Structure 1
Amino acid sequence: MNEQTTRQPHSVKPLRVVVMGAGMAGILAGIKLREAGYGSVAIYEKAARVGGTWRENTYPGLTCDVPSHAYTYSFEPNPDWSRVLPPGAEVQAYFERTVEKYGISDMIRFNEEIIACVFEQGRWNLTMKSGLRDTADIIIAATGVLHHPSVPDIKGLPAFEGKAFHSSHWDHSVPLDGARVGVVGNGSTGVQIVSALAGRASKVSHFQRTAQWIFPVENPYFTDEQKAAFRADRALLHSLRYDPTYLSNVERFTNAILDADSPEIREIEAIALGHLERSVPDPALRAKLRPDYRVACKRLIYSPDYYQAIQHPNAALVTDGIECVEAKGIRTRDGKLHELDVLVLATGFKADQFMRPMNVVGRDGVKLNDVWAKRPRAYLAVAIPGFPNFFMLNGPTGPVGNFSLIDIAEQQWQYVSQLMDLVRNGVCNEVEATQAALDDYDQARIAAARKTVFGSGCNSWYLDAEGVPATWPWSQARFREAMAAPQMEHYTLSNA
């Protein structure tokens, strides 16, 4: 940082900070703001509970695909995870306990959806759907990525006489035992649902548009003795978050996705292909399950039991395209009617929305929707030119994949908090990324992203409207280095 940014402040300015969302990243922001002594903080949450995607998703079989001890805040390890890959309800409970333990409940305003956030006369003016208004000096957008369901436009869907719902809006009043269940979509969610329902439902029909690469994984329970050891030795518990095997796997996977022709990607592909060959003896079914694109081009799926589940006598893989939905079920393009009682749309989320459809307006009336008309952009995934004192956690072009987004958010918070301190300590009133910094970053990022495995030819939610992977295309080490401290030449400081 330069001399201007490091000079000693005369006093600490009282600031109003608003956090958008009480999911994983919003909870993190609330805890860190309280630790840093920010006295005026509000977290606005559109729902009635914390938890974000873990609150929204409650479908059968919901499991985190990041090891439990890596999917925790660094400052709040959990000795009581039941399994290596924890069920969703445990993850949700962890976040709820953390909110209570760190005493940030008083910050959170539930059932308050922000519909407008407008920068005027040096401050952010917020309007809630309820009519409530607030004003902030600094905005932390922690809205997450996977919270706007993507509902497919399937002809005839409203005509279905059974129960139909998106996987993130699971209707737990609907009986599943003995029912005929159709699952549309075979990403991680669809795979987990089919694995959970095969054997419960009288028939599970899994409608597959594109085969997925599935990586073998075990999910053992932690024993009572192990959990007792975790509780007794915090150092042991802490070490699990940085388990060398896990970190080695992350590094291997990172190197793999950065180069679609790397030895690492070929090794991962060989493991996944061998898993398919060993697990599915029927050559016809095996052929339907074999992808025709590079491994990890779509988000790699980790499952201990999907191949077994889809071979259950009560399960069927349907690869003929969907023609339409009718009153009694789904008719495929081969003319067959698959009769159903329950239709589950495991069709993912609109990953390019972030805080939208909120009306966010920056300096001089610049609308975020216009700035993002081509693709969502943010310098280093956290800052947007023309939007002063507005910072994102897990924003566009951040690291994605099979990593712990908690770790990513903590790294981003380390970076954002340093920018906030400039305002708090009186160095400036406003800080924003320069357009040149964003343009240079995005140009380099797009060139690198096209070379990653995400750009190797498949269709996935990683791709923007122009087919460019909307991802961080470099190593985890480079991300950590970038998040260690802002390069202040890439920011404009103003005392307007």
Structure 2
Amino acid sequence: MVGDRLHGVDVDGRSHAIRAAVIGAGMGGILAAIKLRERGIACVVFEKGDGFGGTWRENTYPGLACDVSAHWYTYSFARNPDWKSLMADGPDIRDYFDRVAREYGIDAITRFGQEVADLRYHDGGWILETVQGHRERFDVVIAATGVLHHPNVPRFEGMDSFAGDLFHSARWDHSVALDDRRIGVVGTGSTAAQLTSALVPRARRFDLFQRTAQWVLPRENVPYSDDERRRFRENPEELEALVAELRAKTLEGYAAAVIDVDSPELAAIERLCRENLETVRDPELRKRLTPDYRAACKRLVISGTFYDAIQQENAHLVTAPIRRIEPEGLRTEDGVLHDLDVLVLATGFQVDRFIRPTTVAGRGGVSLDDVWADGPHAYLSVSLPDFPNLFLLNGPNSPIGNFSLVEVAQHQIEYILKLIEGITRGDYAEVCVKEEAMRRFEDERCAAARRTVWVTGCDSWYLDKRGVPASWTFSYDRFETEMARPRMEDFETR
């Protein structure tokens, strides 16, 4: 039912309780709900799916794992001493987020199976409507929808004619048998690499259809012993020291490398990738696996097993372009028909969606689709002009890549809460970034992009339609500094 309050502040200036909606019950949504409740702010979480976990609920394919160190990929207030190995597998990560959500009581305030269809700012508040017909008014909305949940499904000629089983990796059909079958995978990103490692030992024949070769950074997934896990449980300070070490290694290496093409850190990454490539024994296969762009221009594939798997006798790398799909399999432009029983599209996601396809109308009816016509953007990734009291977690231009998005989201939610606290104190009823501040930030971000590795000549999902990286193009230190406190002169308040 739509409430009667128009603002989070009484007419005499006294603060009172406001209500917040959180869209999404993945990593960011769980975090937002926990932190809002810590501040005494009532909130409701709307989740289109049937459970917690976000991308870790959507993706269930064989070999699914996170390529970020597990202990760093946790909330700082809810460490998990029982990770089995350096990098955790998908089911364990989903279980972790589900457990944290339930321990903090987020299940009691989450409406599963409620997909938000429409958000409209009206008379000082947001009217939220779901596909299922629920309608409610909120003072504040936090969109924690992520980007890895709208599968990118290419349309090949003849897709409907395939006589076998065909599905996207994020819509895995667990009823389909895999052992001793002819399996094809389209794609060569992190998902395809994980699938290759997992399925080659099971398949009679495995074909990997590669459009673009990827740089692969080797990393052994070292298991933690029972003794190590016991020590982490009994000595939280030892676990925190490990988190700090894992964090520092990544930030001092990868984070510094991607923003400066002339950095020694990038040179070191390229050396490690080339040394890893040399483990491919067949010179012809090695040549076809060699990218024609600089390492980290695309998101690095982190794997200690991919090259070994693709060199097995039953594994075949196919580099001829795909012509069409036929009942018996996939035909490439060289005329070869690759007979298949199972075809998996590991073709990624529509990463420019964010909160969309939800229709979002801000102040004066301004449409988010119109604002983002040339590509998604947001001030410091969290706020947009003319969309007061709407905040984004891991939104456009967030730091992305091979480091912890959990930590990124924790910085962002603390920043957002500082803005919300101004509402609860009665300093203002509405807050959003000024148009001029948005333009200044975006101009500076695009200028900084010219020094990054992402613009050195590859076609990647990091790039928007202008060829500008849709990511944080500054140092990670600057990100932390910016997130320490809002510069209120950049915000419009009413």
Using the size of structure 1 for normalisation, the TM-score is 0.96
After superposition, residues 68-467 of structure 1 pair within 5 angstroms as 68-243=70-245, 246-277=247-278, 279-467=279-467
Q: 1:119 aligns to what SS in structure 2?
A: strand
Q: How many angstroms apart in 2 are the aligned matches of 1:216 and 1:191?
A: 12
Q: How many angstroms apart in 2 are the aligned matches of 1:24 and 1:190?
A: 23
Q: In the alignment, which residue of structure 1 is the partner of 2:31? A: 28
Q: How many angstroms apart in 2 are the aligned matches of 1:450 and 1:141?
A: 30
Q: How many angstroms apart in 2 are the aligned matches of 1:250 and 1:60?
A: 29
8 Å Cα contact 2:194/2:306 also seen in 1? yes
Instruction: Please provide the CA RMSD for this pair.
Output: 1.0
8 Å Cα contact 1:450/1:469 also seen in 2? no
Counterpart amino acid of residue 341 in structure 2:
D
Q: How many angstroms apart in 1 are the aligned matches of 2:218 and 2:239?
A: 25
Q: How many angstroms apart in 2 are the aligned matches of 1:399 and 1:13?
A: 35
Q: How many angstroms apart in 1 are the aligned matches of 2:253 and 2:152?
A: 31
Q: How many angstroms apart in 2 are the aligned matches of 1:10 and 1:303?
A: 57
Q: 1:403 to 1:249 in 2, by over 3 A?
A: closer
The number of aligned residues is 483
For residues 436-469 of structure 1, what are the alpha-carbon distances to aligned partners after superposition, in whole Å with 9 as ceiling and x for unaligned?
Answer: 0000000000111132001111001000011111
For residues 161-217 of structure 1, what are the alpha-carbon distances to aligned partners after superposition, in whole Å with 9 as ceiling and x for unaligned?
Answer: 111000000000000001111000010000000110111011110000000000010
Q: How many angstroms apart in 1 are the aligned matches of 2:354 and 2:405?
A: 15
For residues 313-347 of structure 1, what are the alpha-carbon distances to aligned partners after superposition, in whole Å with 9 as ceiling and x for unaligned?
Answer: 11110001101111111000110000001000000
* Percent identical residues: 49
Q: How many angstroms apart in 2 are the aligned matches of 1:73 and 1:199?
A: 35
For residues 446-494 of structure 1, what are the alpha-carbon distances to aligned partners after superposition, in whole Å with 9 as ceiling and x for unaligned?
Answer: 1111320011110010000111111101111100000000000000110
After TM superposition, the runs of 4+ consecutive aligned structure 1 residues lying more than 4 A away are none
Q: In the alignment, which residue of structure 1 is the partner of 2:6? A: none
Q: How many angstroms apart in 1 are the aligned matches of 2:43 and 2:249?
A: 38
8 Å Cα contact 1:310/1:317 also seen in 2? yes
Q: How many angstroms apart in 1 are the aligned matches of 2:268 and 2:204?
A: 38
Q: In the alignment, which residue of structure 2 is the partner of 1:6? A: none
Could you tell me how far 1:10 is from its partner in structure 2?
6.0
Q: How many angstroms apart in 2 are the aligned matches of 1:450 and 1:204?
A: 40
Q: 2:432 aligns to what SS in structure 1?
A: strand
Q: Which moved more, 1:234-243 or 1:451-460?
A: 234-243
Counterpart amino acid of residue 55 in structure 1:
R
Q: How many angstroms apart in 2 are the aligned matches of 1:347 and 1:126?
A: 32
8 Å Cα contact 1:125/1:133 also seen in 2? yes
Q: How many angstroms apart in 2 are the aligned matches of 1:236 and 1:265?
A: 30
Q: In the alignment, which residue of structure 1 is the partner of 2:61? A: 59
Q: 1:71 to 1:123 in 2, by over 3 A?
A: same
Counterpart amino acid of residue 461 in structure 2:
W
Could you tell me how far 1:101 is from its partner in structure 2?
1.0
Structure 1 portions without partners, runs of 5+: 1-8
Confirm or deny that 1:482 pairs with 2:485: no
Q: How many angstroms apart in 1 are the aligned matches of 2:450 and 2:235?
A: 45
8 Å Cα contact 2:250/2:403 also seen in 1? no
8 Å Cα contact 2:142/2:390 also seen in 1? yes
8 Å Cα contact 1:61/1:193 also seen in 2? yes
For residues 286-306 of structure 1, what are the alpha-carbon distances to aligned partners after superposition, in whole Å with 9 as ceiling and x for unaligned?
Answer: 000011100000001100100
Q: How many angstroms apart in 2 are the aligned matches of 1:52 and 1:17?
A: 20
